Amino acid sequence: MKKEPLAFRMRPRHIDEVVGQTHVIGEKTSLYQMIQIGEPPSLLLYGEPGIGKTSIAYAIAGTVSMPFVAINATTSGKKDILQVVERAKEEGTVLLFIDEIHRFRKDQQDVLLPHVENGLIVLIGATTENPFFEVNPAIRSRCGEIKELKRVMPEDIVSALTRALHDRERGVGNFRVELEKDVLNQIAYATNGEVRSALNILEMSVLSAKENEEGVKKITSELISEFSGKRGMNHDKDGDHHYNLLSAFQKSIRGSDVNAALHYLGRLIIGGDEKSIIRRLQVIAHEDIGLANPEAVVYTKTACDSVRELGFPEARIPLANAVVMLCLSPKSNSPYKALDRAMADIQNGYIGEIPHHLRDTHYASASKLGNGEGYKYPHDYFQEHFGGWTQQQYLPDVLKHREYYEPVEAGREKAYADVYKRLSQQKKDV
């Protein structure tokens, strides 16, 4: 019979054995108190793979006196749910854990919902996707708690590894193991908050290490490096974490934090997400830098073209250059904000008629409609240091006093702002 992996064997049997996640299930939380008195609420657990959703479900099951059933939404259907319902009718309220709950179809959810509502089933749903986007509102409304799990801190992972090293029943305590200095910290940081991955690395290292003459297995830093690789870098390009990472990347550049921006760029590169990096950098150049440094748009486009042509690892060089330049460039979002205000007026019905002197004159009968009558050709009215300009109305009457553009006096846009203010004053003086 195949032996279960160490991460499976070391799952917490009680909520007091849960590693990390004190914001969700720590002793001071209401959830902890409800579980301790045997009254767990239905809840949704949301977070990245390997950070403890399933472990918490099993820990709750081990703490309360309640029949427990675990299923996976990818392989289970209505028949499985109905079997749980029948068991609950015979034995009393059942604690039902559903992994990947967002994958349930509507008809499967419909079978489940009334029994959660009347208390026959206490539901614990787990999902790697944002439940506010991916889980049916009917299920969300019947769950008293929606909890987002966080990556476990390194010191907590070290605690879990130490427990597994000494546990002779479920862990690897039956082996004589000698650890090179800081090996446990190396595992904790290499797995980036994933307890499951950390335990897997520990187990593989112990099993693969050769015994010396005294029967001791020495776990070295080199051995850990062999198994750790790129662990901890879960990068589902369609997942919620992907968009959080891109958001943090852009906001770090917008906030001119070079070090944070390079950190998130590194995570995106290691995750193999070249397409998203290129797209997001070009958005940033237009959205966050804009007229304050128009050359940034050209430089960023050139850097992105180089990335496509070079490929990695060399592609990281133009990316680093572009990110640092964008971070330290002056910032402006005034043009697109002005457009958003104009579009809001249009969507709210503030449109009006195009002034006749601006209308098309390129057909024979246009003059009969008054099209183009009174139009002043700006190039005929020279303005020193600017070129052609003369005062005339361009907006429809209903909007003729509206001002959408609010310039930012930063970088190159300061010069545009000065022109805008001068022209605006001349309009008022007419």
For each of the chain's 430 residues, which pLDDT tens digit applies?
457 889 889 888 999 988 888 888 888 899 999 999 989 999 999 888 878 899 999 999 999 989 999 988 888 888 888 898 899 888 889 999 999 888 888 788 788 888 888 889 999 999 888 888 778 888 888 887 888 888 888 888 899 999 999 999 888 888 888 888 888 888 888 887 788 888 989 998 888 888 888 888 888 888 888 887 655 455 555 555 677 888 889 998 998 888 888 888 888 888 777 888 999 999 999 999 988 888 999 999 999 999 888 888 888 899 999 999 998 888 988 888 888 888 888 888 888 888 887 788 877 677 777 777 888 888 888 877 777 888 888 888 888 888 888 888 888 888 888 877 888 887 775 5
How many angstroms separate the CA atoms of 335 and 414, rounded?
13
Strand ranges (E), 65-151: 68-72, 94-99, 121-127, 145-148
Overall CATH class of domain 353-429: mainly alpha
Helix (H) or strand (E) holding 290: none
Q: Which two tokens stand for residue 155?
A: 């010191």
Contact 206, 177 (CB under 8 A): yes
Is 353-429 the same fold as 154-228?
no
Provide the residue count of the chain: 430
The predicted structure's pLDDT at residue 364? 67
Q: Which long-range contacts (CB under 8 A, 24 or more apart) does 150-153 make?
A: 150/20, 150/21, 150/23, 150/47, 150/51, 150/193, 151/48, 151/51, 151/192, 151/193, 151/194, 152/19, 152/20, 152/21, 152/51, 152/52, 152/193, 152/194, 152/195, 153/20, 153/193
Best CA proximity match to 163, nearest among 302, 18, 304: 18
The predicted structure's pLDDT at residue 150? 85
| pLDDT per position as a tens digit, 112-162 | 888 888 889 999 999 888 888 778 888 888 887 888 888 888 888 899 999
How many angstroms separate the CA atoms of 235 and 87, rounded?
39
> CB-based contacts of 331: which residues, under 8 Å, 6+ apart?
254, 256, 288, 289, 290, 292, 408, 410
Q: What are the percentages of helix, strand and coil residues in the chain, rounded to 5? A: 55, 10, 40
Overall CATH class of domain 154-228: mainly alpha
What number of helices (H) and strands (E) belong to the chain? 19, 9
Contact 35, 56 (CB under 8 A): no
The predicted structure's pLDDT at residue 308? 86
The predicted structure's pLDDT at residue 354? 82
Nearest 10 degrees: CA dihedral of 154, 158, 159, 160? 100
- Measured N-to-C along each axis, helices 106-117 and 78-91 cross at an angle, to the nearest 10 degrees, of 10
Contact 157, 195 (CB under 8 A): yes
The predicted structure's pLDDT at residue 45? 92
Q: Where are the domains of the chain?
A: 21-148, 154-228, 240-328, 353-429
- CA end-to-end span of the chain, whole Å? 93
> CB-based contacts of 279: which residues, under 8 Å, 6+ apart?
none
> CB-based contacts of 72: which residues, under 8 Å, 6+ apart?
98, 99, 100
Contact 73, 97 (CB under 8 A): no
The predicted structure's pLDDT at residue 1? 42
How many angstroms separate the CA atoms of 169 and 185, rounded?
24
The predicted structure's pLDDT at residue 236? 52
The pTM of the whole model exceeds 0.75: no
Please give the CATH architecture assigned to the domain spanning 240-328: Up-down Bundle (1.20)
The predicted structure's pLDDT at residue 415? 81
Phi then psi for residue 213, to 5 deg, are: -65, -25
The predicted structure's pLDDT at residue 240? 56
Overall CATH class of domain 21-148: alpha beta
Quickly tell me which residue has 């593989």 as its tokens: 204
